[in-house]
Structure 1
Amino acid sequence: MSSAGLREQVSHSRPRRRLSREERHRQLLDVAWRLIREEGTEALTLGRLAEQSAVTKPVVYDHFGTRSGLLAALYREFDERQNTLMDAALQASESTLAGRAAVIASSYVDCVLLQGREIPGVIAALAGSPALERIKRDYEAAFIEKCRIALSPFAGIGAVAPAGLWAMLGAAEALSYAAAIGEITAAQARDELFQTIVAMVARNARPHALD
């Protein structure tokens, strides 16, 4: 037998290494993101995920429990990535309104674009369940609080109003989605969000400007 044939026989006879739970969880999430990217969020079921991951359904159910659990895990991963990116950028940024606004705008837009078109589909799916909507709201509230802390030093004697922060978040989601589907460029999304943030803080810093 040739050496090549011997190597092939050995590779076929060698048992495949069993993935650890953490490695399997990572694999399932990667396949889930790919499924959403290629087939849309509606195609993402636990059965389909098991099929595409070459595992049995009980394995997927053990990791996520339900489809809602899977969607929550995907959104949680997106949120953690966004927070990591933003925290690092805030630490390295200039302590100015322009510096902080640029970090918030670029971190939000870049994180959505890094995930691609998949995350808008996950966010839309979250809105279809009260339990998932609560999870999304909790993460949004944490993001808004992070922004409030970062921007408050530049609001003068006024506070950064909650209504303005929620408006900022709505703009961030809309602009990032538009960039993800190619309606506008990433640079346009970042710049518009930056201008929105700066204007919001300036408005709060001059509460009587229009009196």
Structure 2
Amino acid sequence: MTRQDRHRQLLDAAWRLVRQEGAQALTLGRLAEQAGVTKPVVYDQFGTRTGLLAALYQEFDARQTARMESALAASAPSLADRAAVIASAYVDCVLAQGREASGVIAALGATPELDKVKRECEAIFMDLCRGALAPFAAAGVIAPAALRAMLGAAEALSNAAVAGELTVGQAKDELFETIIAMMGRAARPAGRAAR
């Protein structure tokens, strides 16, 4: 088996383990058992539990980014279409991964290294959104705080849909409205005093 194929096998086994037992059960030794390989094979691929969690999150983020890029490329260049694509793609990606993504995301805050990986992935998402939405902002500028608020709303609404607290439609609709409201503020001319 190639190194890349082994990596894929181990990531799939890790997602299964998180789905079945939760992120807290995800250790390199437990992953080796689940995948039917020796511990050195897992250690060679990820080094540490932190490395494994980072790889899972980066894979999740790459899927989310690819889905959103594809949908944005196919969308009409209007604010409503772009907002709908961002809302739908984000919620759909979190739902596709299910509760296991929430567990991995929660575990990412456990160490400074994992928090750094999460922040890097968040920056990719916010840059993608900035590029898609900037044409609809005054002077093409969207405040970093607005993008951070949108990301927080996207995470909270998606996780609420995964938990069954909201329907998928409610999560997407509310995120869409949040993005439209954010862009309404971004479309106003600069010059207002900061609050």
Normalised-by-shorter TM-score class:
over 0.9
Query: What corresponds to 1:124 in structure 2?
Result: 106
Which of the two has higher C-alpha Rg? Answer: 1
Q: Is the contact made by 2:138 and 2:190 (CA closer than 8 Å) also made in structure 1?
A: no
Tell me if 1:72 matches 2:46: no
- 1:28 and 1:158 mapped to 2: Cα distance? 43
Match of 1:28 in 2: 10
Return the match for 1:45 from 8, 11, 27.
27
Match of 1:5 in 2: none
State the partner residue of 1:84.
66
1:110, distance to aligned residue in structure 2 (A): 0.4
Aligned residue type for 1:44: L
Q: Any stretches of 5+ residues in structure 2 without a counterpart?
A: none
TM-score, length-scaled by structure 1: 0.88
Tell me the amino acid that sits aligned with residue 185 of structure 1. T
Find the aligned partners of 1:205 and 1:63 in 2 and give their Cα distance.
47
Identity of aligned residues (%): 66
After superposition, where does 1:1-211 map in structure 2 within 5 Å? 19-157=1-139, 159-207=141-189
SS in 2 for 1:142: helix
For 1:175 and 1:71, locate their aligned partners in 2 and report how far apart those are by CA, in whole Å.
23
Could you tell me which runs of 5 or more consecutive residues in structure 1 were left unpaired when the two chains were aligned: 1-18
Say which SS state the counterpart of residue 138 (structure 2) adopts.
coil
Moved over 4 A (4+): 207-211
Question: How many residues get paired?
Answer: 193
TM-score, length-scaled by structure 2: 0.95
CA contact (8 A) 1:36 1:44 kept: yes
Q: Which amino acid aligns with 2:69?
A: D
Please give the alpha-carbon distance, in whole angstroms, between the structure 1 residues aligned to 2:141 and 2:8.
41
- Describe the SS at the equivalent of 1:157: helix
Aligned-pair CA distance for 1:25: 1.2
**CA deviation map 1:25-70 (0-9, x unaligned):** 1111111001111101000000000011111100000000000000
Alpha-carbon RMSD: 1.5
3-state SS, counterpart of residue 59 of structure 1:
helix
